[in-house]
């Protein structure tokens, strides 16, 4: 017990406390990786750049100017650059979100609250569209509804019916809204299902006893209780749709139909960086506005609607009676059409030697296993023999692995600080900054990192074009999720477990390694797997930062699609889809076995 008095003084203890040191370091890092890039983005838009001389004679590189903002918002270009895409973004966003909510909410009710048969295997099928990359669905749509009027080969629709589909079915608002809804309804489904699962059916039984009809119960009891979840689901889904890039690009760009997200990309492709960044900022503002609105609405009402799940909680299922099987078949059909059919179409399409000819003699394995042939697909070899693609596969797995592991570990440490330093304003700030990336539409986030890391800054080299930058942005993008997973895990670890080790004299490092990490591991590993799958299918986030040496499967697939090499792009997207489905299966299996183990222990 002989210790120097200085080491035992409260101030020194505060400074030497490893948790405080970590808190300060993480605050610094997150400030640099989250807030600063946003400032850079804003600054970039109000400064004359080197390339601006060809846009305006007044350009003085380095000086401040409103030129870019005025160009975007109040110039002859504004209509095409901002207002039309803005309207498109809003319309496709709202339509797709509404459809996703209705479909997702209805399915959630069927699965959670009704006695519909076959739930066990319908549920994974219904989440498939969200598991596969979003533009798989866009590619599948194209396979069916492609219109030769715009160019390229006819789709399945025309081959079967002999007439070309109307253009509004092939490109623009309609297909974008539908495919976005198809991709995001499982997301809405999961959010609403979570809320429905917490409803105590005694509430409904109470209404039943007072003589209310089933419809009335649904309308007057069930729906109002899940309304806040619906509102939250609306905002979250909407926020995700407006940041979507690849899907609207594939189904809109051929007819010059643009959303803000595709406009960011198009402007960058034209070298109009500052315009692109102005649009990115506007996209971020839209997202912030949506979140703010939801907080204003849900935040004030959430407490009132909070259902208490304490003792006497019961969840009774509603009998569908004669509707049982018709509903089952409709849901199963729907699941097949949105979950499995697109993958079959992609698979079939990747086997066609000449795109658009749907007869058996046209089938080939060339795009999978063929060697380079100058006659076919500009000499690109089949995906399984393509050195580029093998490299991209390796990059994809590496990127997903490193990002998932690093994000989970940092997420756990942040979560630990947030939970254990509850009430400390700096810890609260850390929590909030770690959440901010959630508010950035992914393509705008990519734009930020493009401005931030294009050139060296102080001790940090120009990271543009490096693999490190991809890991960095993926990690920061996953942080909101990994912190949340971490908080759930750490909250479940009683403080006393750690104090017992503290009394035994274990240092903080030892406690974190021996107590916190092992106990949080099951939750964190699950989160890691979710991140792994999420990073693998991510495109919008990194599309602006990819260079040939750092390509990943999704960007290679996207480039093939851009070049019209649909079979190759379909084959690639299918590979990513299989990888993500495999990941989800592992997760599902792990979760199931864990449940079994827990149950065994309780009995």
Q: For residues 171 and 255, is the Cβ–Cβ distance under 8 A?
A: yes
> What three-state secondary structure class fits 64?
strand
Write out the binding residues for other proteins, residues 347-406 only, by CB under 8 A.
none
Kindly state whether residue 505 participates in binding other proteins, applying the rule CB under 8 A: yes
**Closer Cβ to other proteins, 76 or 505, answer by number:** 505
Interface residue with other proteins, options 510, 513, 592, 594 (CB under 8 A)? 510
Q: Confirm or reject binding of residue 11 to other proteins (CB under 8 A).
A: yes
Q: What is the DSSP string of 295-354?
A: HHHHHHHHHHHPPP--TT---PPBP-GGGHHHHHHHHHHHHIIIIIHHHHHHHHHTTBSS
**Residues 513-532, mask of contacts with other proteins (x by CB under 8 A):** -xx--xx-------------
Residue 597 interacts with other proteins (CB under 8 A): yes or no: no
Question: Would you say 538 and 516 are in contact if contact means Cβ atoms under 8 Å apart?
Answer: no
Please identify, using beta-carbon distances, which residue of 300 and 492 lies nearer to other proteins: 492
- Judged by CB under 8 A, the stretch of 3-11, 154-162, 338-346, 586-594 that binds other proteins is 3-11
User: C-beta of 509: minimal distance to other proteins in Å?
Assistant: 12
In this complex, which beta carbon is closest to other proteins, that of residue 462 or of residue 500? 500
Nearer to other proteins, 80 or 510 (CB): 510
Instruction: By CB under 8 A, tell whether 500 contacts other proteins.
Output: yes
Closest distance to other proteins from the beta carbon of 420 (Å): 12
In terms of CB distance, is 9 or 295 closer to other proteins?
9
Six-digit token pair at 483? 């912190």
Give the one residue of 497, 582, 585, 596 binding other proteins; rule: CB under 8 A.
497
Residue 99 makes contact with other proteins by CB under 8 A: no
Question: Is 503 a binder of other proteins (CB under 8 A)?
Answer: yes
Question: Minimum distance from CB of 3 to other proteins (Å)?
Answer: 7
Instruction: Name the token pair of 200.
Output: 């105590």
- Applying CB under 8 A, the span of 269-277, 334-342, 492-500, 536-544 interacting with other proteins comes to 492-500
Distance CA 428, CA 339 (A): 41
Is residue 428 part of the contact set for other proteins (CB under 8 A)? no
Segment interacting with other proteins (CB under 8 A) among 10-18, 356-364, 543-551, 580-588: 10-18
- Count of Cβ atoms closer than 10 Å to residue 581 Cβ: 16
SS (H, E, C) 124-184: HHHHHHHHCCHHHHHHHHHHHHCCCCCCCCCCHHHHHHCCCCCHHHHCCHHHHHHHHHHHH
Segment interacting with other proteins (CB under 8 A) among 180-188, 311-319, 353-361, 506-514: 506-514
Q: Is 453 helix (H, G, I), strand (E, B) or coil?
A: helix
Quick check: 271 binds other proteins (CB under 8 A)? no
Smaller CB separation from other proteins, 428 or 510: 510
- 499 touching other proteins, by CB under 8 A: yes
How many other CB atoms are there within 10 angstroms of residue 253's CB atom? 16
Question: Does residue number 594 form part of the binding site for other proteins (CB under 8 A)?
Answer: no
Indicate whether 296 belongs to the interface with other proteins (CB under 8 A): no
| CB 409 to other proteins: min, Å | 18
Residue 293 C-alpha from the chain's centroid = 21
Tokens 């102005």 belong to residue: 278
* Unique residue bearing structure tokens 């827990």: 598
Q: Is 3 in the site for other proteins (CB under 8 A)?
A: yes
Q: How far is the CB of 1 from other proteins (least distance, A)?
A: 6
DSSP string, 179-239: HHHHHHHHHHHHHHHHHHHT--HHHHHHHHHTT--HHHHIIIIIHHHHHHHHHHHHHHHHH
Here's the x/- map for other proteins, 13-32, by CB under 8 A: it reads as x-------------------
Structure tokens at 385: 């023999």
The answer to the question of residue 425 lying near other proteins (CB under 8 A) is no
Instruction: Report the 10 Å Cβ neighbour count for 74.
Output: 11
Size of site (CB under 8 A) for other proteins: 26
Residue 265, judged by CB atoms within 10 A of its CB (0-12, 13-18, 19+), counts as buried
- The interaxial angle of helices 84-113 and 260-269, nearest 10 deg, is 130
User: Hey, is 457 helix, strand or coil?
Assistant: strand
Among 496, 562, 563, 578, binds other proteins (CB under 8 A): 496
CB of 508 to other proteins, least distance (A): 10
Q: Does 299 participate in binding other proteins (rule CB under 8 A)?
A: no
In angstroms, the CA 256 to CA 249 distance is 9
Contact 243, 93 (CB under 8 A): no
Tokens read off for 439: 């508010």
Judged by the rule CB under 8 A, the positions of this chain that interact with other proteins are: 1, 3, 5, 8-11, 13, 494, 496-497, 499-507, 510, 514-515, 518-519, 601
């Amino acid at each position: 017990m002989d210790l120097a008095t200085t080491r035992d003084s409260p101030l020194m203890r505060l400074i030497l406390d490893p948790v405080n040191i970590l808190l300060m370091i993480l605050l610094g890092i997150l400030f640099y990786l989250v807030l600063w890039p946003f400032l850079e983005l804003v600054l970039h838009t109000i400064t004359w750049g080197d390339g601006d001389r060809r846009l305006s004679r007044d350009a003085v590189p380095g000086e401040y100017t409103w030129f870019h903002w005025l160009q975007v918002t109040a110039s002859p270009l504004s209509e095409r650059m901002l207002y039309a895409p803005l309207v498109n973004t809003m319309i496709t966003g709202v339509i797709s979100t509404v459809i996703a909510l209705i479909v997702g909410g209805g399915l959630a009710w069927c699965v959670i609250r009704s006695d519909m048969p076959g739930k066990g295997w319908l549920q994974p099928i219904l989440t498939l569209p969200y598991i596969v990359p979003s533009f798989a669905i866009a590619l599948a749509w194209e396979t069916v509804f492609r219109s030769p009027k715009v160019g390229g080969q006819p789709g399945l629709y025309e081959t079967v019916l002999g007439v070309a589909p109307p253009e509004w079915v092939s490109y623009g608002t309609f297909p974008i809204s539908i495919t976005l809804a198809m991709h995001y309804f499982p997301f809405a489904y999961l959010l609403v299902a979570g809320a429905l699962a917490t409803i105590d059916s005694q509430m409904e039984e109470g209404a039943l006893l007072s003589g209310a009809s089933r419809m009335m119960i649904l309308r007057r009891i069930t729906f109002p209780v899940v309304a806040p979840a619906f509102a939250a689901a609306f905002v979250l889904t909407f926020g995700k749709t407006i940041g979507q890039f690849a899907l609207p690009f594939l189904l809109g760009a051929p007819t010059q139909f643009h959303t803000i997200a595709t406009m960011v990309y198009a402007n960058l492709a034209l070298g109009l960086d500052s315009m692109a960044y102005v649009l990115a900022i506007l996209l971020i503002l839209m997202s912030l506005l949506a979140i703010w609105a939801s907080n204003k609405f849900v935040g004030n009402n959430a407490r009132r609607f909070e259902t208490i799940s304490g003792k006497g909680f019961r969840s009774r299922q509603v009998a569908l009676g004669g509707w049982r099987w018709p509903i089952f078949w409709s849901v199963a059909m729907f699941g097949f059409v949105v979950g499995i059919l697109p993958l079959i179409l992609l698979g079939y399409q990747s086997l066609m030697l000449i795109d658009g000819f749907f007869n058996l003699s046209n089938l080939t394995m060339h795009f999978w296993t063929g060697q380079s042939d100058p006659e076919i697909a500009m000499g690109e070899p089949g995906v399984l023999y393509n050195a580029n693609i093998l490299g991209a596969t390796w990059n994809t797995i590496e990127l997903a692995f490193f990002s998932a592991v690093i994000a989970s570990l940092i997420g756990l440490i942040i979560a630990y600080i947030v939970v254990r330093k509850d009430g400390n304003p700096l810890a609260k700030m850390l929590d909030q900054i770690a959440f901010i990336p959630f508010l950035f539409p992914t393509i705008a986030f990519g734009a930020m990192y493009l401005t931030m890391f294009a050139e060296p800054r102080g001790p940090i080299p120009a990271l543009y074009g490096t693999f490190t930058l991809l890991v960095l942005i993926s990690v920061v993008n996953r942080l909101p999720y990994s912190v949340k997973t971490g908080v759930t895990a750490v909250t479940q670890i009683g403080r006393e477990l750690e104090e017992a080790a503290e009394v035994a004299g274990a240092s903080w490092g030892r406690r974190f390694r021996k107590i916190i990490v092992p106990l949080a591991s099951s939750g964190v590993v699950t989160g890691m797997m979710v991140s792994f799958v999420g990073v693998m299918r991510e495109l919008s986030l990194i599309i602006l930062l990819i260079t040939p040496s750092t390509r990943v499967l999704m960007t290679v697939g996207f480039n093939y699609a851009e070049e019209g090499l649909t079979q190759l792009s379909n084959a690639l997207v299918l590979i990513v889809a299989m990888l993500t489905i495999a990941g989800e299966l592992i997760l599902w299996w792990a979760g199931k076995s864990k449940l079994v183990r827990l149950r065994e222990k309780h009995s």
